Amino acid sequence: MSQIALVTGAGQGLGQHFCAGLLRAGYRVVVTDIKLEAAQACATQLDPGGEHTLALQLDAGCKADFENGLAQVLERFGALHVVVNNAAVTKTTPLMQISPEEFDAVVGLNLRSVFLGCQVLGAYMAETGYGRIINMASLAGQNGGTATGAHYAASKGGIVTLTKIFAKEFAAHGVTVNAIAPGPIDSTAVRAAIPPERLAGLLANIPVQRLGDADFLADLIVQLARPEAYFTTGATWDVNGGLFMR
């Protein structure tokens, strides 16, 4: 039986690439998004017959949605093996203009979504004795951000820490928890955040002088999701063109 993977925030952008990569690798994929129509559109585009996908409405900031989503996945496919916590909100508001409400909204969703995804879905995996969780962090959480807002950067730094915490919690139960920290990727989100007139300057500051490839991120997710990846947990994988080296 094919393994089952669930991706949050998959109705657009990188989430679609991740779903496509998992499908190519032979997974059945649960496409989730806060907007059901977006999840359905993605699933239909990637799997017109609907045999290998399930589209669900899932607010990644709501614990009940994760619980209900898990129940629907088990009803349809009978198991869940891989979770990609990708849902996030990106804001580029200048530091001194960020309101307390906007700060709470960005940090709250970005951190809460990973916390709940790991807590609810990770608990199920730990009970079954197997699972792979991949959390989407960011270069911004490592270097403080450049084109993104401080609240976004802070939330992504928190995801790196949550990844280590849950990795320790689940390590003895066959569940690995890792993070990926991309730099600027050739995606709609990056191009929306960076005006065309600033793009040349951004590329000049990247050591490899190119934007990252979204499909490569999907391939990395597939590698971390493999059963053979059991010895890799609590790690943050850097994909940033040399912008942050350690």
Q: How far apart are CA 129 and CA 71, in angstroms?
A: 18
Mean pLDDT of 181-192: 85
In this predicted structure, the answer to whether residue 95 has a pLDDT above a threshold of 90 is yes
**Pairing between β-strand 175-182 and β-strand 236-239 as defined by DSSP bridges:** parallel
Mean pLDDT of 94-100: 95
At 1 the pLDDT is: 62
Confidence label for 154 from pLDDT (cuts 50, 70 and 90) = very high
Percent of the residues in the chain that have a pLDDT greater than 70, as a whole number: 100
Tens digit of each residue's pLDDT (9 = 90 or more) over 164-185: 999 999 999 999 999 999 999 9
What top-level class would CATH report for the domain 4-236?
Answer: alpha beta
Taking residue 245's Cβ as centre, other Cβ atoms within 10 Å add up to 7
At 187 the pLDDT is: 83
- Write the CB contacts of 135 (distance below 8 Å, at least 6 apart in sequence): 85, 114, 117, 118, 159, 162, 163, 177, 178, 179, 180
In this predicted structure, the answer to whether residue 121 has a pLDDT above a threshold of 80 is yes
CA distances from 68 to 56, 71, 75, 110, 229 (A): 10, 5, 11, 20, 28
Tens digit of each residue's pLDDT (9 = 90 or more) over 6-49: 999 999 899 999 999 999 999 999 999 999 999 999 999 999 99
At 102 the pLDDT is: 96
Tens digit of each residue's pLDDT (9 = 90 or more) over 98-110: 999 999 999 999 9
At 147 the pLDDT is: 72
Q: What's the chain's average pLDDT?
A: 95
In this predicted structure, the answer to whether residue 230 has a pLDDT above a threshold of 80 is yes
Tokens 């093996």 belong to which residue? 81
Which positions are catalytic? 152
Mean pLDDT of 83-97: 94
At 192 the pLDDT is: 75
At 199 the pLDDT is: 85
Q: What are the residue ranges spanned by the domains of the chain?
A: 4-236
